[in-house]
Amino acid sequence: MGLTIALGGKGGTGKTTLAGLVIRYLIETGRKPVLAVDADSNSNLNEVLGVPLEETLSDAREMMKKDVPVGMTKDIFMEMKMEQSLVEGEGFDLIAMGRPEGPGCYCAANNLLSSLLDRLMKNYDYLVIDNEAGMEHFSRLTQKDVDLLLLVSDSSRRGLMAACRIAELVDSLPMRVGHRILVVNQVQEPPARWPEDVEKMFGDGNIYVLPADPLLAQFDMEGKPTSRLPADAPVVQEAYAIFDKVLPRAEKAA
Binding residues (CB under 5 A) for Mg ion: these are 15-16, 40
Does residue 226 interact with ligand ADP by CB under 6 A? yes
Q: What span, in angstroms and rounded, lies between the C-alpha atoms of 68 and 76?
A: 10
Q: Which region among 5-13, 84-92, 141-149, 198-206 touches ligand ADP (by CB under 6 A)? A: 5-13
Of 142, 151, 159, 157, nearest to 183 by C-alpha is: 151
Q: Should residue 235 be labelled a site residue for ligand ADP when binding is judged by CB under 6 A?
A: yes
Cα distances (Å, whole numbers) of residue 158 to 69, 115, 140, 254 = 49, 37, 26, 31
Q: Give the residue with the Cβ less far from ligand ADP, 16 or 143.
A: 16
Number of shown-chain residues binding ligand ADP (CB under 6 A): 19
What is the SS3 string spanning 226-242?
HHHCCCCCHHHHHHHHH
The verdict on 238 binding ligand ADP (CB under 6 A) reads no
Dihedral sign computed on CA atoms, order 27, 22, 117, 124:
positive
Give the binding range for ligand ADP (CB under 6 A) out of 11-19, 31-39, 49-57, 189-197: 11-19
Q: Is 17 in the site for ligand ADP (CB under 6 A)?
A: yes
Q: How far apart are CA 4 and CA 46, in angstroms?
A: 19
Report what 220 binds from Mg ion, ligand ADP, none; CB cut-off 5-8 Å by kind: ligand ADP
Would you count residue 190 as binding ligand ADP (CB under 6 A)? no
